Amino acid sequence: MIHVKTSVTRPSADVVRRLAKFSSATIHEAQGRRGALSSRIKPIDRSMHFCGPAVTVRCAPQDNLMLQVAIHYATAGDVVLVSAGEFGEAGTFGDVLGNAMAAKGIAAMVTDSGVRDTADLIELGLPVFSANVAIRGTVKETLGPINHPLVIGGEIVYPGDILRGDADGIVVVRRDEAEEVIALAQARVDAEDEQIRRYRAGGTTIELCNLTDKLKAKGLLVED
């Protein structure tokens, strides 16, 4: 088996930049409520956000050898996405590799395991999303695949898919669907802005969510 696939077809920088204007929740809705990674994966500081193509890595639990390898093959703007078997009780990533990533212009680090040196990482400014903060160290022993399709957080991610993360979580967009998603997301934002404007002007949920007929059809009983 090939472990490392170095060739990844990435989206254009322009697509990434335009997709980055939308929140993870808006993108998730725009593409038909698909692509949300498990909510267990959170930013270590809620001001963190990112958008970029995925470099996918599978590590053994409590072993970050392949993460070290992946940083070598990642390029500026990439999001390094590491599944380590949902084992949270290990700091798969810390400030030394954080500096290695920042120096290369990596867009973000995402993992279903733990990270450490969080104070330094926050100061460094690299967006880091993880399922835990933990100080236990990792070994560097086990080979695994880089840039193969990766199941993480209950979703499948292909190398070059676009990941968007913010305070609410992370969503994955297939590369060839990105343009369509951008258009749908913009339409959704416009519609939501209009909804918010109407609520501020005194609109009600019954009216703005078009509930009257729906509730009647379902047989809602209201007691005055």
Binding residues among 35-54 for a second copy as defined by CB under 8 A? 36, 38-39, 42, 46
CB of 163 to a second copy, least distance (A): 13
125 binds a second copy (CB under 8 A): no
Exposed (0-12), middle (13-18) or buried (19+): which is 195, by Cβ within 10 Å?
middle
In whole angstroms, give the CA distance from residue 72 to residue 104: 9
In whole angstroms, give the CA distance from residue 23 to residue 172: 12
Could you say which residues in the range 100-119 bind a second copy, by CB under 8 A?
100, 103, 114, 116-119
Q: Structure tokens of 62?
A: 């409590």
* Run of H or E including 47: none
Could you say which residues in the range 71-100 bind a second copy, by CB under 8 A?
71-72, 85-91, 94-97, 99-100
69 binds a second copy (CB under 8 A): yes
Residue that is written with structure tokens 């970050």 in the block? 64
List 20, 25, 174, 179, residue binding a second copy (CB under 8 A): 25
Find out whether 115 and 108 touch, Cβ atoms under 8 Å: no
List 19, 55, 134, 185, residue binding a second copy (CB under 8 A): 134
Could you say which residues in the range 172-191 bind a second copy, by CB under 8 A?
none
Could you say which residues in the range 152-171 bind a second copy, by CB under 8 A?
154-156, 166-169, 171
Q: Are strands 162-166 and 50-58 parallel, antiparallel or unpaired?
A: antiparallel
Which window, 12-20, 172-180, 216-224, contacts a second copy (CB under 8 A)?
216-224
